[in-house]
Amino acid sequence: MNSIQRAITIALMLLMASASQAERIKDIATVAGVRSNQLIGYGLVVGLDGTGDQTNQSPFTIQSFNNMLQQFGITVPPGTRVQTKNVAAVMIQAELPPFAKPGQGLDVTVSSISNATSLRGGSLLMTSLKGPDGEVYAIAQGNLVVGGFGAQGRDGSRITVNVPSVGRIPSGATVERAIPNNFSAGQPVVLNLHRADFTTANRVAQSINEMLGPDVARAQDAVSVAVSAPQDPSHRVDFISLLENINVEPGEEAAKVVINSRTGTIVVGQHVRVSPVAVTHGSLTVSVSEDYTAVQPNPLAGGDTAVLPNSNIEITEETNPMFKFSPGNTLEDIVRSVNNVGASPGDLMAILEALKQSGALKAQLMVI
């Protein structure tokens, strides 16, 4: 056992002895360059029970079907009307994980791109999956697993459960080419935080230096922490295994109030505070009703009976009491004060916006 291996072994023992309630670096950061890649392809699903693409509305399905037949030496005579009710044109998606090697399997998602009503019972023909650079990295083929189904009557009525036009093929693609990476290069390991935070980045660097020695890690910005790593690839694996299991106490989030204007959901962060302020909020209700009165002429007078409208307008204003926020209120105090006044989510949005405009709300107000 050389000196590097001994140092890593000792550090691991110290790490296990100093377990705490803090989060692991593995849970709050990723290693730069170690990432997945998206793959996509176009293909045909065959063997459907009459739920495929309609011929007159999917010319590209017919073209793809004819091109496939030509690869097997079959030429469709010109003018032949090909029926594709058992065939569907689809797009295939897959995610190539980091360090994936040729021969490994990938799960794929198959989605109809035309008017096929269901892919249930279909089989995907051999399809190339390409990356953003246009190179083929995997080959997909297999039988689909479809979670949805549908039924339709002759009168046009139909019922659909889930989405029958999308299916999955577990391990339906085989990796043909590995994506190169610079993991084995003799460069510092860079840890990228999931959430940008200067305090967390500084604490990550401090925790690593306390474990492995001074100046081993340094925070580059609010996201990245550079760590000096061994040159030998096998030692780098041990080293990163050590790094990702170091416990770090992340920095606390900034005070925020998040409002979802579509659903009425409001989330108030822990560090939200309110300056001394008095708030009252009431609603005004206007009701308009229409009555009709029949007006008849005198017995000896000429004229016709007429119907005249009679409008009744009523205004009701709720008298909600004014409530006071004390200085430095906690989250619990804020919630209790709002609940006491009986504000609805819509009213609470208006109150929070008014508090922010007045400068009394000591937090970021985010509307999504």
**What string of DSSP letters covers 178-205?**
PPP-STTSSS-EEEEESS--HHHHHHHH
Confidence of residue 80 (pLDDT cuts 50, 70, 90): confident
| The amino acid at 212 | L
Q: Are 135 and 167 in contact (CB under 8 A)?
A: no
Name 260's Cβ contacts closer than 8 Å, sequence gap at least 6. 266, 368
Q: Which of 191, 217, 216 is nearest to 32 (CA)?
A: 191
The single residue listed with the structure tokens 């919630």 is 335
Rounded distance, CA 163 to CA 250, Å? 41
Instruction: Give me the pLDDT at residue 316, please.
Output: 57
Rounded distance, CA 283 to CA 23, Å? 47
Query: What mean pLDDT comes out for the span 290-294?
Result: 65
Q: Is the dihedral of CA 209, 212, 215, 218 positive or negative?
A: negative
Asked: is 3-34+182-248 a CATH 3.90.1150 domain? The reply is yes
Is the overall model pTM greater than 0.85, yes or no?
no
Sorted by where each begins, the domain ranges of the chain are 3-34+182-248, 37-175, 256-282+317-367
Rounded distance, CA 50 to CA 117, Å? 9
For 19-43, how does the pLDDT look when each residue is reduced to its tens digit (9 = 90+)? 446 789 999 999 988 889 999 999 9
DSSP state of 57: G
**Between 310 and 30, residue with greater pLDDT:** 30
Query: What mean pLDDT comes out for the span 346-362?
Result: 77
